[in-house]
Chains A and B, each alone.
Chain A
């Protein structure tokens, strides 16, 4: 597997999951490129570094000498690079910029932007070490420049359209170079070496969007990799207690006795407050179980990452990557 596309509903921690996946894949001395495509500078924020330029920069080390590089892909820069690579037109790019054609192509021309962004990621997938960058043939005997590429892709609701670049440009260009470029990009995205991973949390709406997104991505003929459940809370109470609490039958007297034994002030009122918390928690756990059961219905491998109560910092990414490695990522 060489191209990992990571999507998820807003707020599910898609960028964190993509970065953790990149670290896990880089373990054992491999090189992995983490690409973001939405201009949000999410990777820079996560790693606590200045905004990334349109250049591949090392951002993290992985166990065993592995390295993760990051790139903030930008449609305008990708277009200029594309013109230069395939047409040797550096000056043309400047003229086009002057005429607003680059703005036109990247912001306005439907689908163009997505073709350029996915094109950048697939170019990195295909790239070989020491390849002549300027449109030259890549020497097939050389090793790949990156062992894997991880793309922090647009949110679930938009990902199928984003990846299905062929369909996007089909209405616009039936023939011609852009169409050829799109075909080439699509060949990589559709190939067995590409997988789309869905990040979700155990809440109803993100889970529903995940299931809808999986169906959409499959309908577009793409491969789904895994469901990555993020921000999983550790079980804080044992099942019998939860069942009792959910049924509204928590033993309040036992709770009061316990609080008294611990010497806490105002045990009755405290017990009522705690019972309320336990009930909320029990309802929450029941909802999570229902959601897990629904996610079970699609037969996909599942990865899990824990909730970090204090938020994710740069130093946590390595640990999250290790959690994914424990679950078999990178093996």
Chain B
């Protein structure tokens, strides 16, 4: 770390402890960066971060698109998104320093069912596609399979990347039930579609597969029919029969997307808030990304509180407040000092938690963004966060 960066340790854009600083501007300005994936546990400001990165990227002259999954309504509205339509829409960017930003920003909300339908249509002949799309089992699978949203977010990413229309794609990952589900989802769906059970269910009763597996199979189908009902079983069998032809295509696409995530030009941004749970999840993400050999660009610590008077310790402030209270004078100063002590306490606790993460992962670059008293729900606010991320905030 340079002396300059070290000196800026208490300013926005600084990293905790001795961790290297995550240079967000350098990541966005690098023309070789083509994909940024934002991940993190629920409630840490992932979608806001993805949008802010998009605005900042446009200020760097990039042609960026942000894929969001289920954004908060006001944030979506601020980007001009009103409904799920799977089509990137241009976002009217605010002026920066009195001039329009040199780049562009588009944003889209993921429609997972439509994305799934599109893959089926791309890989099956029209008649078979019609059969699959009409199948009740397919309809449930494509709209509520746990993991479909994750899978389709990755699929959409692959599609946009392949179209070649986008200079930089930023993906906001779904708030997964378990961390990094989106890495597993394509494989899980693949494993399911390729499973022995599905093969067996899909095979007409008279074929070799059935005879070969013998009594075990009829027992399984018997139990399934008994538990879920014969109608569900026959829907599944029809679905598998029709889907078999497009299955190879699915596998291939999932693998391609997975490789794309590992490739040079992709950067994962782990978003966290300085709280115990969120940081535990962040640590898990970091380790999981390393295990899967996914390129981690850095950690973004969102909503960090800090005291307005860094040099005044909480204890000293409380002591001074007590002294004033004893005299019965200067109530305003007393109240302000007590407030400061409280803030210093919160800041110290957050610092401790963040330092712990930095100590466990000293090589991972990190950047902090200060907590704001109000939520961000307009483009100007997003641009401000983008600048804060890049270390250019005014204070």
| Residue pair A174, B231 in contact (C-beta under 8 Å) | yes
Chain A, range 63-100, C-beta contacts under 8 Å to B: 83, 87, 89, 92, 95-96, 98-100
Selected contact of B339 from candidates A96, A237, A259, A263, CB within 8 Å = A237
**CB-CB < 8 A to B137: which residues of A?**
172
Secondary structure at the B interface, as helix, strand, loop or mixed, is helix
In angstroms, how far is the closest chain A Cβ from the Cβ of B79?
Answer: 15
**CB-CB < 8 A to A206: which residues of B?**
43
Which of A39, A108, A154, A259 has the most chain B CB within a 10 Å cutoff?
A108
Secondary structure at the A interface, as helix, strand, loop or mixed, is helix
Selected contact of A100 from candidates B141, B195, B327, B334, CB within 8 Å = B195
| Residue pair B178, A39 in contact (C-beta under 8 Å) | yes
Chain A, range 223-280, C-beta contacts under 8 Å to B: 236-238, 241, 250-251, 254-255, 257-259, 261-264, 269-270, 273-278, 280
A174 and B230 CA atoms in complex are apart in Å by 11
Q: Binary interface profile of A, 149-168, with partner B (CB < 8 Å = 1, else 0)?
A: 00000110100010000001
Selected contact of A309 from candidates B44, B217, B229, B346, CB within 8 Å = B346
| Residue pair A274, B340 in contact (C-beta under 8 Å) | yes
| Residue pair B144, A155 in contact (C-beta under 8 Å) | no
| Residue pair B229, A274 in contact (C-beta under 8 Å) | no
Q: Is B342's beta carbon under 8 Å from chain A?
A: yes
A254 and B332 CA atoms in complex are apart in Å by 7
| Residue pair B375, A257 in contact (C-beta under 8 Å) | no
**CB-CB < 8 A to B228: which residues of A?**
105, 109, 112, 172-173, 176-178
Q: For chain A, give the interface size range.
A: 35 or more
Q: Binary interface profile of B, 189-228, with partner A (CB < 8 Å = 1, else 0)?
A: 1001001111010000000000000001101100110111
Which B residues are within 8 Å of any A CB, using their own CB? 41-44, 70, 72-74, 136-137, 139-141, 143-147, 175, 177-178, 188-189, 192, 195-198, 200, 216-217, 219-220, 223-224, 226-232, 235, 273, 275-278, 307-309, 312, 316, 320-321, 323-324, 327, 329-330, 332-340, 342-343, 345-346, 349, 373-375, 377
Q: With A99-B197, A255-B336, A273-B312 given, can you name 5 additional A-B contacts, CB distance below 8 Å?
A: A100-B192, A205-B72, A236-B342, A254-B333, A284-B373
Which A residues are within 8 Å of any B CB, using their own CB? 9-12, 38-40, 45, 83, 87, 89, 92, 95-96, 98-101, 103-105, 107-113, 154-155, 157, 161, 168, 171-179, 203-206, 208-209, 212, 236-238, 241, 250-251, 254-255, 257-259, 261-264, 269-270, 273-278, 280-281, 283-284, 287, 309-311
